[in-house]
Amino acid sequence: MGVGGIGIWQLLIILLIVVLLFGTKRLKGIGSDLGNAVKGFRSAMSDADKADEEDKDPKRLDAAKSEQAADDATGSTSDSVSDKPAEKTKV
């Protein structure tokens, strides 16, 4: 018995049916797309971990706070949102 009570012969028959339905080129494309998605997910997770580690660094926190205080003191409006309504355009 194999996985979940399915034997090797049942798995081979299922594999044969899938190959006949989708074809080898399409299965190869699906496999590569899935691999790229997993790779992207892993890189995003490692980037998030690096960002968390940088947030824990007290020197960076002090620098970020002083930079934010300097922006507040100078009245920086580059990050502010306008109160004007957006112009309506016809499509």
pLDDT for position 2: 58
Name residue 17's amino acid. I
Q: Are 19 and 27 in contact (CB under 8 A)?
A: yes
pLDDT for position 51: 81
pLDDT in tens, 15-31: 999 999 999 899 899 99
Backbone angles phi, psi at 23, to 5 degrees: 85, 155
Question: What stretch of H or E contains 72?
Answer: helix 58-74
pLDDT in tens, 40-80: 999 999 988 888 777 776 666 566 677 777 777 676 555 55
Residue bearing the bigger pLDDT, 16 or 3: 16
Query: Where are the domains positioned within the chain?
Result: 23-70
Q: Are 20 and 12 in contact (CB under 8 A)?
A: no
Residue bearing the bigger pLDDT, 83 or 40: 40
Distance between CA atoms of residues 52 and 20, nearest Å: 47
pLDDT for position 91: 60
Q: Are 2 and 8 in contact (CB under 8 A)?
A: yes
